[in-house]
Amino acid sequence: MDKYLKDAEFLAKIEPYIKRPEFQRLKNSQHHNDSVYSHTLRVAYKAWRVGKHFSQHPDELLRAALFHDLYFHDWREKEFIICHGWVHPVIALKNARELFGPITEREANAISSHMWPFNFTNPPRFREALIVTFSDRSVATGEVVVMFFNWIKRLVTGQKRDLKKED
């Protein structure tokens, strides 16, 4: 079970955002072996916890972490598969501005630079951007490791992949 589900303070802070239908749509977009919604909440929780110690702008950090993957396309589609790492931060920032109102410069940098150093043309300029970037990397790495071990388990046991259980 994800730790953030038990953290009342965190849940209270994110509630106004995650209740919105636009944010709920992230449940339908895939991220590795999970939804973008679940991935985003894990990243936001990790960033928020780190930010309690290292950020002077915790609200901006939390918003940036919540909006860092605010895209609704399937990244495996032909038009996105090659450029997803470059394009989705730009799409996420555009969606954040359109759906959640004014975005500060600090939030914009954290959203648009979260794929650094892969997207080396847009480095983090604020501490909050670094926190979002490394929180995203940490969470995504954990998700890929789980995906890999599930694949090994299926390979060894001969089980078929059950997509309904993975949602």
CATH number (domain holding residue 8): 1.10.3210
Domain count, the chain: 1
Among the listed residues 57, 75, 82, the one whose alpha carbon sits nearest the alpha carbon of residue 132: 57
Q: What is the pLDDT of residue 167?
A: 42
3-class SS at 31?
strand
Confidence at 127, pLDDT banded by 50, 70, 90: very high
- Whether the per-residue pLDDT at 90 is higher than 60: the answer is yes
- Whether the per-residue pLDDT at 163 is higher than 60: the answer is no
Measured over the CA atoms of residue 51, residue 137, residue 28 and residue 108, the dihedral's sign is positive
Q: What is the pLDDT of residue 33?
A: 67
Q: Which residue has the higher pLDDT, 120 or 142?
A: 142
What is the value of pTM for the model shown?
0.81
Domain encompassing residue 118: 3-166
Among the listed residues 144, 148, 150, the one whose alpha carbon sits nearest the alpha carbon of residue 165: 150
Q: What is the pLDDT of residue 32?
A: 59
Q: Which residue has the higher pLDDT, 132 or 144?
A: 132
- Whether the per-residue pLDDT at 55 is higher than 80: the answer is yes
Q: Which two tokens stand for residue 24?
A: 């709920």
